[in-house]
């Protein structure tokens, strides 16, 4: 049986305790512990999920190259100081064929982390107000809206696990969530890359489709993904089949990260996903809801919890995130803040 991805209205998560909220919690936990993907709708800030409003953020891709280059990260431009936040350009030879920007909490002024020497807390290089009037304010509003949704899902997951609903709260004060804007152009057939190989293409519904987003699981707690109405995202279901994640307006696709999978001893599933090439250019806006950099992750007080050695979120994230192609070549720039007990 192919299990579909459920769409769940989450308005009740923003109200007082009620039987309706309990039912929503149960549906979320069923998705989290089952297929590991869901779509959510009906929440404060859902007005963002229209083509016009997403377009207010995606305007950044229309900047001239000279303006985008000012935002590049150190691994793409050695004159830059930012290593973790900022612009990643297209990598024509990589499986993932995308460009975009990673932004941190400083854009929404929720940071309280300035002055830190941790690259995970560095400020985000942003276009000037003159280059893109009104854009910064829109990005800040969107960031705050997604923090609110992430927070509501985090509490719902706590309740769904049978834990106090505030158990995760302290971990997320001054969290380092990432707002990412992605553009996947059509692959240039003359780029000198043979995309017929198995790494670069798959058969889907009898058709050969290029891969533009390499198969992976996300690193963080929960990911809130706005798609632009263009298909391409696929999730691996429990039977190991790739199923399409519908890009419906008014919904966010939600998947769970490896941090949460580890924290819950596999109770929540960090589902693998990938992007196959649609016929048109594609944009997406993932928001990775994440704890504070110095959060100590230790086994949860649940009877089913498996023992593991506590670790710092920042150490774990750096190890994981720097394996992605857009973060290549920077692993050596941050040392673990806590030595492993051997
Ligand atoms: O573009 C998409 O739809 C998915 C992006 C994604 O999986 C990611 O950035 O982690
Ligand atoms: Fe992802």
DSSP 300: -
Q: Which of 166, 172, 122 is nearest to 150 (CA)?
A: 172
The answer to whether residue 1 is domain-embedded is: no
The answer to whether residue 342 is domain-embedded is: no
The answer to whether residue 119 is domain-embedded is: yes
How far away, in angstroms, is 202 Cα from ligand 2 center? 18
The backbone torsions φ and ψ at residue 221, rounded to the nearest 5 degrees and listed phi first, read: -95, -60
The backbone torsions φ and ψ at residue 212, rounded to the nearest 5 degrees and listed phi first, read: -120, -10
102 forms beta bridges with 86, 180
Least distant ligand from the CA of 283:
1
The answer to whether residue 102 is domain-embedded is: yes
| Domains of the chain: total | 1
ipTM over 0.85: yes
In angstroms, rounded to a whole number, what is the distance separating the alpha carbons of residues 209 and 228?
A: 19
Digit-by-digit pLDDT tens for the chain (342 residues) are 446 899 999 999 999 999 999 999 999 999 999 999 999 999 999 999 999 999 999 999 999 999 999 999 999 999 999 999 999 999 988 999 999 999 999 999 865 556 689 999 999 999 999 999 999 999 999 999 999 999 999 999 999 999 999 999 999 999 999 999 999 999 877 667 777 778 889 998 898 899 999 999 999 999 999 999 999 999 999 999 999 999 999 999 999 999 999 999 999 999 999 999 999 999 999 999 999 999 999 999 998 888 999 999 999 999 999 999 999 999 999 999 986 654
Q: Which atom of ligand 1 is found nearest the CA of 218? A: 10
Instruction: Please list every protein residue whose CB sits less than 6 Å from any atom of ligand 1.
Output: 180, 182, 213, 218, 225, 227, 233, 273, 275, 284, 286
The answer to whether residue 299 is domain-embedded is: yes
Name the residue with the closest Cα to ligand 1, atom 3.
233
The answer to whether residue 340 is domain-embedded is: no
Name the residue with the closest Cα to ligand 1, atom 10.
218
Least distant ligand from the CA of 253:
1
Q: Which atom of ligand 1 is found nearest the CA of 253? A: 3
The answer to whether residue 266 is domain-embedded is: yes
How far away, in angstroms, is 301 Cα from ligand 1 center? 32
Q: Following DSSP, what letter does each residue of 207-262 receive, concatenated?
A: EEEEEEEEEE--SSSEEEEEE-S---EEEE-TTS-EEE----TT-EEEEE-HHHHH
- The preferred substitution site among 281, 285, 286, 324 for testing ligand 1, maximizing ligand atoms within 8 Å of CB, is 286
How far away, in angstroms, is 16 Cα from ligand 2 center? 32
How far away, in angstroms, is 284 Cα from ligand 1 center? 7
The answer to whether residue 203 is domain-embedded is: yes
User: Range of 232's domain?
Assistant: 7-333
Q: Which atom of ligand 1 is found nearest the CA of 284? A: 1
Long-range contacts, 292-296 (Cβ 8 Å, 24+): 292/171, 292/172, 292/173, 292/174, 292/175, 292/176, 293/113, 293/116, 293/118, 293/120, 293/121, 293/176, 293/317, 294/337, 295/171
The CATH number of whichever domain residue 99 belongs to comes to 2.60.120.330
How far away, in angstroms, is 217 Cα from ligand 2 center? 6
Three-class DSSP category at 7: strand
């Amino acid at each position: 049986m192919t299990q579909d991805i459920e769409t769940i209205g989450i308005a009740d998560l923003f109200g007082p305790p009620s039987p309706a909220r309990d039912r929503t919690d149960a549906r979320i936990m069923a998705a989290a512990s089952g297929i590991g993907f869901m779509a959510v709708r009906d929440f404060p800030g859902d007005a963002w999920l229209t083509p016009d409003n997403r377009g207010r953020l995606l305007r950044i891709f229309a900047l001239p190259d000279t303006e985008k280059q000012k935002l590049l990260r150190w691994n793409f431009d050695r004159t830059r100081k930012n290593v973790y936040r900022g612009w990643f350009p297209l990598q024509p030879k990589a499986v993932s064929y995308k460009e975009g920007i990673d932004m941190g909490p400083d854009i929404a002024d929720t940071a309280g982390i300035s002055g830190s020497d941790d690259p995970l807390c560095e400020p985000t290089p942003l276009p000037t107000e003159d280059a893109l009037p009104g854009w910064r304010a829109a990005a800040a509003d969107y960031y705050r809206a997604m923090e609110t949704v992430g927070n509501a899902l985090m509490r719902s997951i706590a309740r769904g696990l049978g834990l106090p609903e505030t158990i995760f709260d302290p971990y997320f004060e001054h969290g380092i969530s990432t707002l990412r804007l992605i553009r996947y152009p059509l692959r240039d057939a003359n780029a000198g890359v043979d995309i017929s190989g198995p790494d670069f293409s798959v058969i889907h519904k009898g058709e050969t489709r290029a891969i533009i987003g390499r198969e992976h699981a996300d690193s963080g707690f929960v990911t809130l993904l706005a798609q632009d109405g263009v298909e391409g995202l696929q999730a691996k279901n429990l039977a190991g089949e790739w199923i399409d994640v519908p890009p419906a307006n008014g919904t966010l696709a939600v998947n769970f990260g490896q941090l949460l999978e580890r924290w819950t001893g596999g109770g929540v599933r960090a589902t693998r996903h990938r992007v196959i090439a649609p016929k048109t250019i594609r944009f997406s806006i993932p928001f990775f809801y994440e704890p504070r950099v110095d959060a100590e992750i230790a086994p949860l007080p649940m009877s089913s919890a498996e023992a593991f050695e506590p670790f710092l979120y920042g150490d774990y994230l750096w190890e994981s995130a720097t394996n992605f192609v857009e973060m290549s070549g920077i692993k050596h720039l941050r040392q673990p803040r806590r030595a492993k007990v051997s």
